[in-house]
Structure formats: C-alpha cells, structure tokens
Structure 1
Amino acid sequence: MSIAAAFAVPHPPLIIPAVGRGEEKKIQATIDAYRSVAKKISDIMPHTIIFISPHSIMYSDYIHISPGMKAKGDFGSFGASREKIEVEYDSELIHKIEKKASERNISAGTSGEKDRNLDHGTMVPLHFITEGYQGFKSVRIGISGLSPLEHYNFGVCIRDAVEDLGRKAVIVASGDLSHRLKEDGPYGFMKEGPVFDELATRAFASGDFMKLLDIDEHLCDNAGECGLRSFQIMAGALDGMKLESKLLSYEGPFGVGYAVASFIVNGTDQSRRFGSIYEDNEKRKLEGKKAGEDEFVKLARLSLETYLRTGKHLKMPQGLPPELTARRAGVFVSLKKHGRLRGCIGTIEGVTESIAEEIIRNAVSAGVEDPRFDRVSEKELSEIVYSVDVLGDAEDVDSVSELDEKRYGVIVSKGLRRGLLLPNLEGVNSPLQQIDIALQKGGISKSETYKIQRFEVVRHT
C-alpha cells in the first residue's frame, strides 16, 4: 500500500452553504470539481487522508504536524458555528512521519501546537469529503518558512512513512492561489497575480512539479498566494510516481484564484524525481555565481566561512586591489539563501581603515549578528549567495522628488536615531515606501520632523 492519489484544492469558507448564504453559487465550477474529488476519494477508500494546510500551525523554521488522537473545529468565526467537524488522527503514521523527517534532518514534528482546533484550510475539504465517505483517519500538517526543497523533501518523508506502514493514503493539499487578481478583491490587484495562477494551473494540468519548485519568490510574494508550500509538500509525497494529472477547475470571481486538481498514481516513474533535479540545478547555479564573484564578494565569502569554520576573524589577505584597501566607506553585506534574505548588516560610514576591513567585519556580522535571523550554520555555507554594497557619500534632500528608489538609498534621521534603506530592493516600488521602511527601522514616527538624505551605491554580486 502507498499513496493512491493526491488532490490540490482551495479553501474559501464561503463555499460552505451556511457561510456563503448563496454567494457560493458564484463558484459553482469549484463546487462541482470538489464533489468530483470527494467521489474519487470515496472510490479509493483510503485508510488515512493527509491534509496539508497553510492555516494550520506555522513556524518560520519548522513544519508542524498536529499531535494527539482527535481534533475538532467549526465555522463559528465565519458566522456558522453549527457547522462542526471532528476527525480521528492516525497517531502511528504521525509518529512515523516525524521519525522520517528526523532521519533526513528536516526541521519538522509535533512540538509547539498553539491551537488544537481544526483550521478552515482543513475543514473546507473535510466538509465535501465527509458527505460521502467517513471512517478514515487523518493527519494534519502545516507549512513553514523553510525552502521549497525542504518542503518537497518533507513530502518524501510522508511517502516513505506511508509505505513503511503499508497504509492506503490520499494527500489533500489545501491552498488558494493568488489573492491579487482584481482591484476589488481582498488585497487589490498586482500584475503578478494572474502570472502566478497561470504557472500553478499549468503545473497542475501537466503534472510538471518542477514548475512548483522553480516559481520566483518575488513573484509569489507580490501575487499574495497561500498554497504553494502545501503543493510543494504534495509534490514531494508523489516523488518518483507516474501520475494521471488533471486540472478539474479554475476560477477567481472574488479576486482569489481557486484551482482544483487531481493526481492519480499509476505506477512509478524515475524521471519524476523533481527534488533531486532541482537540487542539482541549484548547485549548478550557485557554482556559476561563485565563479563570477568579484574581489569584493569573494572577500565577504572568505570572511564568513573562515569565522564559522575556525571561530576566528579573517586576517587581511595580501595582494588585494587598491579599490579595496585605499579608501574608507560604509559597506553593507547581504546574504541570501534560496532567494530569501538570510542576513544583512552594514555601516553607513566607514568605521575601519578600509573597505576591505569593513567587508571582513560586516560579513561576519551579517552571518551571526542580524537579530532577525538565527546565525548561519557551517552546513549552510554552500547555499549562501553574497552581495556587497559600497556606499557613496550621503547628501541632504529637500523633497521626495529628489529620490529614486532604484538609484538612491535613503537615510532618515532624528537626533541619534537613524534608519537606512538600500536602493533597488525587491518589493520596494516608490520613494515614499523607501522612507516608510527607513522610518520603521530607525524607530522614527511619521509625525516627527526628520532629516532625509540620499546616497548611491556600487553593488557587487
């Protein structure tokens, strides 16, 4: 026995008649597809249904599996408290999944449950499934801020655990697509919204899960999606399996993308080891980046790697070019991992004798002292991408019209409080947004009178 099928489904509470009160008729195609999914599950008669929900317990660095024997919930927060659902958990499978994750060094398990009640990302699919099929056990899993590959590999742990126990199981990956499809939608319109939905629905229709791993992080953030990590776990659970893939429906009349897809397992297919393919591709990309690094970035990398491997700061290397040793300047060192910021520390003005010393100092600080992140571990070093920004002299500005978020960074100051934001950052699309973020970083209120300066940078990547 193993995973017999998987389904990608949305979770709009209004699809429940007691919540929608007629509005659900506007997404009738989604309802019809949901009932088709429920019928397929009833025909399969799985022992266990594994639900993956972005609205379960979520941590930035840990995938949560709901513990215990049972759980229940209702739609009271959506005005339908009489709509109640209760499930029995498959505690043996939960324990096995947790063990498999530990063996793979994936940060996942049953610790840290803050709310035992079922979330709507789990209850909406349960509503349809239990109309025609009952008596099954459940596993409820959340998502995290971990990388796409770690979510995929956690899905592989689910598959392995299911096979070890001889379960007949079905995966239900709950998640809406973009929430930014229409101006009058819940979060307005962003051009990335329809682009994300097109990419996701193509992946569903073709069964090409590499598309789910390769979607750009910046695109995802601007699209306002909530289901991608659920789908990545589902993809991992289907690793190496031959599938019959169908996009059953897609619509978005309320400004949120709702897609329903089915993936029926029809044997094995070794060409569908997408996690291994993705990992190999990422390694090649990183090696290419390293090969193209200039002296500034190479020095930052050498500095952090030396510190983490020896516990000592790098001594100034011999033979560095004059542009690193002949002048002082403020320097910011930024670290990214899998496209996401992993640390960033810098100085507005030079506090050491040279740019080289500034880089050596700030690279270590970015890796171990940025309060927003855990310190970088030695095992992460091969995955880190570095950039070094060398700041030009700051100059006062009298008007926002003198700023350009792509060309200039900004410094806002009030007394000893100062906030800085570098130029040309993803997600920062106007000088006013730049100033707002810099004010927050400096602990300065918008109502205060503050000074604005601009500066240019030379960015080394």
Structure 2
Amino acid sequence: MLVAAAVCPCPPLLVPEVAAGAASELDALRETCLEAVRELGDVELVVVVGAGPEGGVWTEGGIGSFHRYGVPRVVRLPGAVAEGPELAPSLTVGAWLLEQAGITVPTHACAVPADAPVERLTGLGEGLAELADRVGLLVLGGGSACRTVKAPGYLDERAEPYDAHAAKALAEADTEALRALDPVLSAELQADGRAPWQVLAGAAQGARLSGRLRYDEAPYGVGYFVASWS
C-alpha cells in the first residue's frame, strides 16, 4: 500500500550541471525537493512517476542522461539489476533526485502520456500501490507554464487559479481534487503535473495520508510545487 509520496517539479535546471551559471537561482527549490525525497527512505519500494511522450515502465533498472542538454551526465535508478531502456526526461530528473538524496531502496519507474484519461491514470495508481506492503511514490511534474508574460506559455489568466487549486489539493492530500483536474485545461496551461498527480490520486485512495506543501512558487513563470504525503 502507499505509505509516502514526494511531489516535485522536474525542470532539467534542477541539476546544477545543466543550469550552469543559473544554478543558484533554484537552490531553494532544489534543497526542498531533496528534503521531500529523503522521506522516502523508509519504504520497501519506490516508484518514480512522471510524464513522458509515451507510456513506459521500468521494473529492472533504467538509465537516463542529460546529453540532450549538452551535459555528459548519466544517472540510473537505485537497486537496478539491469540498465534497461533509457528513462524519459522527467524520470531522469527523478533518478538524479534519488541519487542526491541517498535513496537506495529498489525502484521502479513509470512514464505516463500527458493526454492520458483520468480513469486510466487513477487505475494505474491503484495498481502501483499494491506492488509492496510499503510503497513510496516520487511524483514528478509542475503546474501551469503560463503564469507571466515571460513564461514558456505566455500569460494566461486561468493559470493562477489552476495552480492555486493544485497547490491546495497537494497540501491537503485531497485525492478527489486531483482527480478533478481537467485534462484539456491542463494541456492548454502546459501543466505537466496533471497526469502524474492523478496517478498519485489513485494510489492514495483510501490510504488516509496527510499532506504538507513545502514549496509553492512560480520561477520563470511556471508553477512549481513540492509536497510530502505520509
């Protein structure tokens, strides 16, 4: 069953080698993510969930790289018995967070398409929660990328209310509020956390977890949240 979850955004700039001279701009976010991830150390299995161009599952290891960003840096899932296919970009950031946080328990990973329907995502979450007696999720994704005129998606007046709803749901471990996130609106606001958060909603159904929102800011005009459920 699900006993803990860490929710983090997954911009490549979290990795100092990728951010280079701008690394210090995300120091607070980076450290807060690591604090949340470290709380996953007392579980039997960690499952990393993030958006991907297509669905994929890694159960016997996985390797990811930051070569696409011009950085010769490679990471792998902890507890791997095989390298497996290359991890999706969001999962690669997740593997880096686990490495930096010192998490060594066996780890699976799951990429979910950004346009996956709600019921499919929550059903997947229910299945992930049954993989071990004590499962922890590392859930990767952010809010709207339309918070300011300089944001990747420009300014959209719907972005701030959307992010406020998501932040409240993550703070309160409100699975129904996460299920209610609209896939169409989420796509229009470029919120890549919608699909992974709905996997979390399915996994946490009936688990009676409490939530704690550790970070709620919009650097670069993108809503980033860090939350812990336990």
Structure 1 and Structure 2 fold alike (TM over 0.5): yes
Residue 85 (structure 1) shift = 0.6
Structure 1 residues 27 and 132, CA gap change in structure 2 (3 angstroms): closer
* 1:387 alignment counterpart: none
Query: How far apart, CA to CA, are the structure 1 residues paired with 2:190 and 2:50?
Result: 16
Matching of residues 228-247 of structure 1 within 5 Å:
228-247=194-213
> Any unmatched runs of 5+ in structure 1?
92-114, 265-461
Whole-Å separation in 2 of the counterparts to 1:119 and 1:217: 21
- Equivalent residues in 2 for 1:74-113 (5 A)? 74-81=65-72, 83-87=73-77
Assess if the C-alpha contact under 8 Å between 2:147 and 2:154 holds in 1: yes
TM-superposed deviation, 1:70: 2.8
Provide the rounded CA distance (Å) in 2 between the counterparts of 1:71 and 1:126: 9
Match of 1:133?
Answer: 102
SS of corresponding position for 1:19: helix
Aligned in 2, Cα 1:155/1:262: closer, same or farther, shift over 3 Å?
same
Matched residue type, 2:6 = F
Q: Which residue among 84, 109, 116 is the counterpart of 2:85?
A: 116
Choose which of 141, 146, 149 in structure 1 pairs with 2:116: 146
What is aligned with 1:64? 56
Deviation at 1:150, TM superposition (A): 2.1
Deviations 1:343-385 (A, max 9, x none): xxxxxxxxxxxxxxxxxxxxxxxxxxxxxxxxxxxxxxxxxxx
Cα pair 2:40 2:103 within 8 Å, conserved: no
Q: What SS is found at the alignment partner of 2:5?
A: strand
Report if aligned partners of 2:3, 2:207 keep a CA contact under 8 Å in 1.
no
Q: Per-residue deviation at 1:257? A: 1.2
Deviations, residues 72-125 of structure 1 (Å, cap 9, x unaligned): 1211111211x211226779xxxxxxxxxxxxxxxxxxxxxxx92122311223
- Is the 1:246–1:262 contact (alpha carbons within 8 Å) kept by the matching residues of 2? yes
Q: Does structure 1 conserve the Cα–Cα contact (< 8 Å) formed by 2:62 and 2:80?
A: no
Residue by residue, what CA displacement relative to the aligned partner does 1:435-460 show, whole Å, maximum 9, x if unpaired? xxxxxxxxxxxxxxxxxxxxxxxxxx
Q: Which has the larger radius of gyration?
A: 1
Counting only pairs closer than 5 Å after superposition, residues 1-400 of structure 1 correspond to structure 2 as 2-42=1-41, 44=42, 46-55=43-52, 58=54, 63-66=55-58, 69-81=60-72, 83-87=73-77, 116-144=85-113, 145-162=115-132, 166=133, 168-264=134-230
CA distance in 1, matches of 2:188, 2:101: 38
Please report how far the alpha carbon of residue 259 of structure 1 lies from its aligned counterpart in structure 2 after TM superposition.
0.6
* Letter matched to residue 88 of structure 2: D
User: Given that residues 3 and 209 in structure 2 are in contact (C-alpha distance below 8 angstroms), is that contact kept between their aligned partners in structure 1?
Assistant: no
| Count of equivalent residues | 227
Cα 1:204–1:189 shift into 2, 3 Å: same
Change in 2 beyond 3 A, CA 1:132/1:10: closer
Are the aligned partners of 2:147 and 2:223 in contact in 1 as well (CA < 8 Å)?
Answer: yes
C-alpha displacement of 1:48? 2.0
The answer on whether the counterparts of 1:193 and 1:222 sit within 8 Å (CA) in structure 2 is: no
Q: Is the 8 A contact 1:71 1:89 kept in 2?
A: no
2:56 partner amino acid? H
Q: Can you list the C-alpha shifts for 1:300-332, whole angstroms capped at 9, x where unaligned?
A: xxxxxxxxxxxxxxxxxxxxxxxxxxxxxxxxx
In 2: Cα distance, 1:18 partner to 1:220 partner: 30
- Asked whether the equivalents of residues 179 and 201 of structure 2 are also in contact (C-alpha less than 8 Å), the reply is no
TM-superposed deviation, 1:202: 0.7
- Cα 1:38–1:161, aligned 2, differ >3 Å: closer, same or farther? closer
What SS does the aligned partner of 2:216 have? strand
Higher relative contact order (CA 8 A, sep 6+): 2
- Paired position in structure 2 for 1:98: none
Q: For residue 151 of structure 2, what is the amino acid of its counterpart?
A: G
Distance 2:64 2:22 in 1: 22
Amino acid of the residue matched to residue 28 of structure 2?
Answer: A
Matching residue's letter, 2:157: K
Instruction: Using the TM superposition, give the Cα deviation of residue 205 of structure 1 relative to its aligned residue in structure 2, in angstroms.
Output: 0.9
Tell me the SS of whatever aligns to 1:53.
strand
CA separation in 2, counterparts of 1:214 and 1:80? 38
Name stretches of at least 5 consecutive residues in structure 2 with no aligned partner. none
- CA RMSD after TM alignment: 2.1
